[in-house]
Amino acid sequence: MIRKENIKLVDHETIIPLSRLSTEIFKTGQWSPRKPLYREKLSPCREACPVGNDIPGILSCVAKGDFDGALALILHENPLPGICGRVCYHPCQVNCNRIQFDKAVEIRSLERFIADYGQATPQVWTNQKGNQVKVAVIGSGPAGLSAAYFLALFGHKVAIFEARPEPGGVLRYGIPEYRLPREIVKREIDRILGLGIDLVAGERVDTKKLTDIKRKYDYVFLGTGAWVPQRIEASFEHRDTIIYGLDFLSHGDKTGMCEGKKNVVVVGGGDVAVDVARTARRLCDPDAGITMVAPEKEGEFPAIQEGLVEAEQEGIHMIGEYQPIEFIGKEHLKQIKFIKTKVEKDQATRRYRLSPVKGKDRFLDADLAIIAIGQIPDTSVFFESIVDKDSSRVFVDELGSTPLFGFYAGGDVIRQRPAVAYAILSGKRAALSIHLEVNGYEPNRVMTSLKLGKGPSLSISAFVDNRGVDFGKVVGFSELNTLPYRKVEQHHGITLPPEARKTNFREVNRGLEKDAAIDEAGRCFYCGTCIECDLCFLLCPDISIIKEGQRLYSVNKDYCKGCSICAITCPRHVIEMEDGQ
């Protein structure tokens, strides 16, 4: 028997090839030219947002409970989040990628929640202080407030001139409190004025005053809004019981014009008409009939859908495809005669026209008629050289500049969608244009680089602090990896029941609770935005994904084989593969 101690051991180094070097000498990255590219992109919700909010970034803060950080992010792009969170028509939600998975994220409700719960103060962009100028802002509606806000953030000296006793324009005088409480308007305006902006209230401006102002200020922004009602083509025997929409919203609760009225007819189908009808519901006797009549088909009224639904819940009757032609009554209004109407689009002008349908007249009893078919600006206060008489709007170019040097304009005085978000956009655009011009930039080139995809807006924060986001690439649903997600129901805010809101102006929509807001923000896909989930870092078989810092990863191309695992597993399409050299 061979004993163990007698066995001669062989030096394994003499028979087995052995290297004491690291495998780092094997540059496996040379195996494939395809490499991952880490680059944040644009979400479809942000592309659609007229204000340009960084929605994925904002909602990722909310999901982590960082409401202050979320508000600070919003204030980089939007000076009026509490207002937009209540009255915006939310095109972001229509374009939310989550619609193709279950239901859209309640983005507008979350913006409102952030504005109500978050604490943040906008800070002047000290890295942007260059040549500073004095700017006069005429009008304190959403466009004027936006222009003043961003100009002040750039360090310019700003004064707002407002014709009415209090600032806010349509926000204060044209939107009822059941949708937009006055304390919210005041809170948002106070934050803007806190940047050192001067307010001159009760100062109506005309062409003479404009000339005087221009002598004292380097630039002037015109944002006086649209307050002149579109007149209706119909015969009147009297006018004492006929009023126009914004006049009613501004003064209806003070004049007692609804007292004793039994049949109120509102002509129009837009948001102002809905606000008028719902305000009349609250001011009239509970048994009074409130009817909206519009030329569009029922179901196709141009107002925001939720407003129409809430109006119907409050007992407001709606009639489509009719327009008034005669208001009947010798001493007081008794009836209104309507004709059947067909709405047609003129392909040449791209405008809508109304065509009567013979033989289908209709009569409605009415002791008060409120006309809400649109508003136009009072262009008599502007210089003729900047006014388009055909549209009753001010001429502006893509920078918001009028034909008259030093004068910019925005909001409802220019041709654009009559919405608060678009007014904010126009003020932001003009403010940036002025800043670029006085500091030697090429405004058109810079504006193009800040444009958010093919949408209407731009990112002013990208000019101040560019993270390298690719605004030209919009992430589609098919580019997402949705495996980490599960279907979750939307979270909705609390809404007052109809019977609890018909006789008062308490806010109808009460907003999201804290836990619901956090959960709803967690439903967001954060399309195109890195939230540091680390899937790429954890799943890379070659350990070639390197964490460089917050929301920043790089690729070690010496060892990346181009397997695409990181790109395939990235839930948000932040990583994509590209052919290298």
Domain spans, the chain: 27-128+443-581, 131-227+377-438, 230-371
Q: Please answer whether residues 366 and 263 qualify as being in contact, where contact means their C-beta atoms are separated by less than 8 angstroms.
A: yes
3-state secondary structure of 433: helix
What's the confidence (pLDDT) of residue 549?
Answer: 74
Distance between CA atoms of residues 421 and 53, nearest Å: 11
The token pair at 33 is 């030219």
State in words which class domain 230-371 has: alpha beta
H or E element: which one contains 193?
helix 182-193
What's the confidence (pLDDT) of residue 35?
Answer: 92
Residue 473's Cβ-count burial label (10 Å; 0-12, 13-18, 19+) is middle
Please measure the distance between the N-terminal and C-terminal CA atoms of the chain and give it in whole angstroms: 66
Strands 494-495 and 509-511: antiparallel
The token pair at 287 is 């048994």
What's the confidence (pLDDT) of residue 355?
Answer: 82
What's the confidence (pLDDT) of residue 219?
Answer: 98
Distance from chain centroid for Cα 375:
21
What's the confidence (pLDDT) of residue 358?
Answer: 81
Closest CA to 507 of 117, 83, 78, 51: 83
Q: Which long-range contacts (CB under 8 A, 24 or more apart) does 295-299 make?
A: 295/269, 295/320, 295/321, 295/322, 295/323, 295/341, 295/343, 295/354, 296/269, 296/320, 296/321, 296/343, 297/321, 297/343
Q: Please answer whether residues 47 and 95 qualify as being in contact, where contact means their C-beta atoms are separated by less than 8 angstroms.
A: yes
The token pair at 415 is 């041709």
SS (H, E, C) 368-420: EEEECCCEECCHHHCCHHHEECCCCEECCCCCCECCCCCEEECHHHCCCCCCH
3-state secondary structure of 421: helix
Distance from chain centroid for Cα 364:
38
Distance between CA atoms of residues 261 and 466, nearest Å: 58
3-state secondary structure of 344: strand
pLDDT in tens, the chain (581 residues): 556 666 666 666 666 666 667 777 788 888 888 999 999 999 999 999 999 999 999 999 999 999 999 999 999 999 999 999 999 999 999 999 999 999 999 999 999 999 999 999 998 888 777 789 999 999 999 999 999 999 999 999 999 999 999 999 999 999 999 999 999 999 999 999 999 999 999 989 999 999 999 999 999 999 999 999 998 877 666 666 789 999 999 987 777 889 999 999 999 999 999 999 999 999 999 999 999 999 999 999 999 999 999 999 999 999 999 999 999 988 789 999 999 998 886 666 566 778 888 878 999 999 999 999 999 999 999 999 999 988 899 999 999 999 999 999 999 999 999 999 999 999 999 999 999 999 999 999 999 999 999 999 999 999 998 878 999 999 999 999 999 999 999 999 999 999 999 999 999 999 999 999 999 999 999 999 999 999 999 999 989 999 887 767 889 999 999 999 999 999 999 999 998 75
H or E element: which one contains 29?
none
What's the confidence (pLDDT) of residue 161?
Answer: 98
What's the confidence (pLDDT) of residue 343?
Answer: 84
The token pair at 170 is 């349509």
Which fold, 131-227+377-438?
FAD/NAD(P)-binding domain (3.50.50)
What's the confidence (pLDDT) of residue 255?
Answer: 72
Q: What residues contact residue 370 under an 8 Å CB cut-off, 6+ apart?
A: 242, 243, 244, 245, 248, 264, 265, 266, 267, 276, 280
What's the confidence (pLDDT) of residue 109?
Answer: 98
Distance between CA atoms of residues 304 and 307, nearest Å: 6
The domains spanning 131-227+377-438 and 230-371 adopt the same CATH topology: yes
Distance between CA atoms of residues 191 and 362, nearest Å: 51
What's the confidence (pLDDT) of residue 507?
Answer: 97
